[in-house]
Structure 1
Amino acid sequence: MRAAVVTAFGGPEAVEIVETDVPEPAARQIRIKVAAAALNPVDAGVRAGVFGGAGKRLGLGWDVAGTVDAVGVATGWTVGDEVVALVYGTAKSLGTHADHVIVDADAVAKAPASVDAVHAATLPLNALTAAQALDLLALEPGRSLLVTGAAGAVGGYAVQLAAHRGLAVTGVARAADEELVRSLGATRFAAGAVAPGSVDGVLDAAILGAAALEWVRDGGVFTGVIPHAHPASVRGVRTGSVEVAADGARLAELVALVDAGVLTPRVAETFALDGAVKAHARLAEGGLRGRVVLVP
C-alpha cells in the first residue's frame, strides 16, 4: 500500500509517498481502508522536525474517515462499518495519510450519516481539540468566551460548540471573516483589539498567547491549543492548554452533533494522496477556511 512519510525534515518537498506492507490489526484494533484524511498543521510540524524523531520514518496524518476492512479480537466493530477516528501521535511510523491505517478500537466512532467522508475527515482532531479545550475552560452557560482564530478549523468548531453550550461567544478573526464567524454562532466579533479584562475566558486557537490573555478578566480562565505552551498565570487567571486525546465515545457525541446540524465540517480543498507534496504546499500558503483533505 501507499503511505505519506518523512525520513528527513524540511518543507513540503520532504514528504515522500512510499510502498509498504498492509498492516494487520492486533487485539482491540481495527484496520480502516482510508476514504479521506485531513491534513493539519501538526503534520507540517512533524514534517519540519518540530517534534523530533530525526533518523526515523515518521508517518503523517491524524484524522481518518473510511471503512473497516479487518478487525482484531474484542473490538466491537465489524468489517464494512463506516467510521471516523483519531490516530494520535507525532512519532508513529504510519499515519492516516495512507491507503490503510490501524486504529485502536476505542478511538473509533461511526461516521456521520449527513456528510461525505471528505467532510467527516475534518472532524476527529479539530473537533476533539475544541471540545476538550472547552472542557478545560469549564465555563458555565451564560458566561462569556472569546475564541481566537474563530474562522479556522479548531476555532470554528469551538465557536459552534461553545454557542451550543450556552456561552456568549466573541469570535476574533480577519474582518473579511465576520459573516462566517457570526454564522457559526458568535454573538460578537472582533477583527483587532479587544478591551482588556472583558471576557470570562479565552480559547486561543490562533496561538496569540499573552496578548489574548490580557482580554480575560481577573480570576478568569485561558486555554491554548499547543500542549504546555500557554502563558503563565497573571491576575488570578487560570491558564492551561489542551493536549488532544483519542476518545471514540466523545467523537461519537461530536458525530451526532454533525448529524443534528450543530457542527459544520468545512473542506477547503482536496488532493490525491500522490499529491501530498502539493497539499502541504497549499497548507503552507495559509488563508484556508476549512481543512485540506487527502483522498487516496
Structure 2
Amino acid sequence: MQAVIIRRFGGPEVLELADVPSPRPGPGQVLIRVSAAAVNRIDLSTRAGRITEAGLLAPAPVVALGWDVAGEVTETGTGATRFAVGDRVIGLRDLLSAPGAQAEQVVLDESAVAPAPAGWSDAEAATLPLAALTADRSLELAGLRQGQTLMVTGAAGVVGGVVLQLAALRGIRTVAVADAPDEPLLRSLGADHVVPRTDRLGAAVRNVVPGGVDSVIDAAVVGIGAHEALRGGGAFVALVAPFAPPPLRGTRVVVQEVFADGARLAELAALAAAGRITPRVAGTLPLAKVATAHERMAAGGLRGRLVLVP
C-alpha cells in the first residue's frame, strides 16, 4: 500500500508517497481503509524536525505522517468488539512512532476510534478527531462555570472554532481573537465579543472585559501577550509547551496534551451530527499532492483543514 513518509527532515520536498507493507490489526485493534486524512500543523512540525528537536519523537530512519482519519473498518483483531467490518469510523493516531493515517490503510486501537458523524462527508469527518479532542480537553482544563468569560486566540482556526461552539453549549461567554474580516465567521460560531489581533492584546481585551477574562485558551500560541488579558488567579491553557507563559499574578498555567479518547470522540461526533459542531474543510487533494497541502498550510490564511484523499 502507499503511505506518506519522510526519511529526513526539511521542507515539503522531503515528503514521499512510498510503498510500504500493508498493516494487520493486532489484539484490540481495527484495520481501517482510509477514505480521508486531514493535514494538521503537527504534520508540518514533524516534517521539519521540530518535534524531534523538542524531544517528543525519537530519531528514526523513517517517520510516517497523519493523525486524523476517516474510513471504513475492513478487519478486526482478536478481542476487538466495538466495531464490525463495514462500519464507517473516524479515529486519531496519537503515537508518533506508529504508522500514520495519511495512507491507504491504517491500524488503530479500537479505543482510539469512534463512529463517523452522520451527515458528514468523509473529508469533513476527517477534520474532527484532533481538532475536537484538543478543543474539548482545553475547555475542560480552563475550568470555567456557566457565565464566566473565556478568551480564545486563533479563534478563526479549526481548533479555536470548535472551542467557541463547545463554550456556547456550556453557557460560557467568549472573546474571540482573530483578523477583523473573520468577525462574521466568529459570530456564527458563537463568539460574544470579537477583538482583532493586536500587539496590545491585553489592553484591547480588558476594554471589552474590565479586569480581564477568567480563562484563556491560546490556540494561536501568542504566549505572554495573551496572558495579559487574563485576570489574576485565572487559568491559561497553552497548546504548545515551549510557549506557555509563567504563572504570573497567581494564575494557573497548564499545557493541553491531546490523546486518542475514542469514547469522548464518539460524544463529539454526536454533537457534530446534531449540527453543534461545524465542519471546516478548506479543500481536498489526492494523497500524492501532500507536499502541496504542506505548502498551502505554511502560507497561512486557511479557514479550515486540507484533507488528503487516497
Determine helix, strand or coil for the equivalent of 1:207. Answer: coil
Match of 1:119 in 2: 124
Match of 2:174 in 1: 169
1:228–1:241 contact (8 Å) kept in structure 2: no
Match of 1:252 in 2: 266
Please state how far the C-alpha of 1:220 moved relative to its aligned partner.
0.7
Please state how far the C-alpha of 1:230 moved relative to its aligned partner.
1.3
Match of 2:55 in 1: none
- For 1:139 and 1:31, the matched residues in 2 are separated by 38
TM-score for both structures, normalised by structure 2 = 0.93
Which residue identity does 1:281 align to in structure 2? E
Match of 1:189 in 2: 194
- For 2:144 and 2:93, the matched residues in 1 are separated by 28
Decide whether aligned partners of structure 1 residues 57 and 139 sit closer, same or farther in structure 2, where only a CA change above 3 A counts: same
Match of 1:144 in 2: 149
Match of 1:280 in 2: 294
- For 1:177 and 1:195, the matched residues in 2 are separated by 17
- For 2:178 and 2:242, the matched residues in 1 are separated by 24
Does residue 87 in structure 1 map to residue 93 in structure 2? yes
Match of 1:223 in 2: 237
- Residues 163-212 of structure 1 show CA distances to partners (whole Å, capped at 9, x for unaligned) of 11110011000001001011100010000332444211110000001000
Determine helix, strand or coil for the equivalent of 2:51. Answer: coil
Does residue 210 in structure 1 map to residue 224 in structure 2? yes
Please state how far the C-alpha of 1:283 moved relative to its aligned partner.
1.1
Which residue identity does 2:270 align to in structure 1? A
Please state how far the C-alpha of 1:241 moved relative to its aligned partner.
1.2
1:51–1:90 contact (8 Å) kept in structure 2: no
Decide whether aligned partners of structure 1 residues 286 and 248 sit closer, same or farther in structure 2, where only a CA change above 3 A counts: same
What is the alpha-carbon root mean square deviation over aligned residues? Answer: 1.1
Which residue identity does 2:2 align to in structure 1? R
Determine helix, strand or coil for the equivalent of 1:235. Answer: helix
Please state how far the C-alpha of 1:265 moved relative to its aligned partner.
1.4
2:33–2:71 contact (8 Å) kept in structure 1: yes
Q: Which runs of 5+ in 1 are unaligned?
A: none
1:228–1:240 contact (8 Å) kept in structure 2: no
2:221–2:243 contact (8 Å) kept in structure 1: no
Q: If each structure's helix is expressed as a fraction of its own residues, which one has the higher value?
A: 2
Does residue 31 in structure 1 map to residue 31 in structure 2? yes
2:162–2:277 contact (8 Å) kept in structure 1: yes
Structure 1 residue corresponding to 2:253, chosen from 211, 232, 239: 239
- For 1:20 and 1:243, the matched residues in 2 are separated by 30
Which residue identity does 2:195 align to in structure 1? A
Please state how far the C-alpha of 1:91 moved relative to its aligned partner.
2.9
TM-score for both structures, normalised by structure 1 = 0.97
Match of 1:266 in 2: 280
Counting matched residue pairs gives 295
Please state how far the C-alpha of 1:228 moved relative to its aligned partner.
5.7
Does residue 51 in structure 1 map to residue 51 in structure 2? yes
- Residues 57-105 of structure 1 show CA distances to partners (whole Å, capped at 9, x for unaligned) of 110000000000011011121110000001113333x200000001001
2:123–2:281 contact (8 Å) kept in structure 1: yes
Match of 1:61 in 2: 66
Q: Which runs of 5+ in 2 are unaligned?
A: 53-57
Identity, % of aligned positions: 47
1:27–1:74 contact (8 Å) kept in structure 2: yes
1:30–1:75 contact (8 Å) kept in structure 2: yes
Query: Which of structure 1's runs of 4+ aligned residues deviate more than 3 A?
Result: none
